[in-house]
Amino acid sequence: MQEIITLYRKTAAFTGEVVEHDGKQFVITHIFLMEESTDYPDFLEIDAVCQMVGAASDYDDYEPVFTFVERYDLSKVTDPLVFERIGEVYNDEGLCGMITNILDIKYEEGDLIMVIEATLIKPWSQEQMQRFVKHNRVGKFDVIEGSSASDS
């Protein structure tokens, strides 16, 4: 299962980093946006695709590249619309994808219709995930000075 998680940091973030979110462990698999935070001075705001440790993915049940249609009812718009953009990353029921192309834009009966192409972001294998989780655990161990039985 993948999620888009926003991190606020004064320090670095990296692909393969293990993070806690809503009480669960995730591994950062893709970083797709980094900017100065407008909410927290001196912090970076980092948006990343993260994969939940130990959760199965149904990625193989879907086509990796697909199209979908977005319909905007222009008669009900009071504020400027924000349309889908190439490069936009989204999450849909535990799978993340990226918009790669806008294939068609047309008007039909007062609606704006966009035909959009997207690509799923492939989840990491359980082996890859466990490698980073193990690396994270090993990195947290501290060496404690002490004496051994042979020192007595």
Residue 152 has pLDDT above 50, yes or no: no
Pairing state of beta strands 95-108 and 111-120? antiparallel
The pTM of this model reads 0.80
Is residue 48 within 8 Å of 5, Cβ to Cβ? yes
3-state DSSP call for residue 41? coil
pLDDT digits 0-9 by tens, 71-106: 999 888 778 888 999 999 999 989 999 999 999 999
Per-residue pLDDT band for 138 (boundaries 50, 70, 90) equals: low
Is residue 34 within 8 Å of 45, Cβ to Cβ? yes
Mean pLDDT of the chain: 88
Residue 125 has pLDDT above 70, yes or no: yes
Residue 145 has pLDDT above 80, yes or no: no
Rounded to whole angstroms, the maximal C-alpha distance in the chain is 90
pLDDT digits 0-9 by tens, 34-80: 999 999 989 999 999 999 999 988 899 999 999 999 999 988 877 88
Contacts 24+ apart (CB under 8 A), 107-113: 110/73, 110/74, 110/75, 111/71, 111/72, 111/73, 111/74, 112/71, 112/72, 112/74, 112/81, 112/83, 113/69, 113/70, 113/71, 113/72
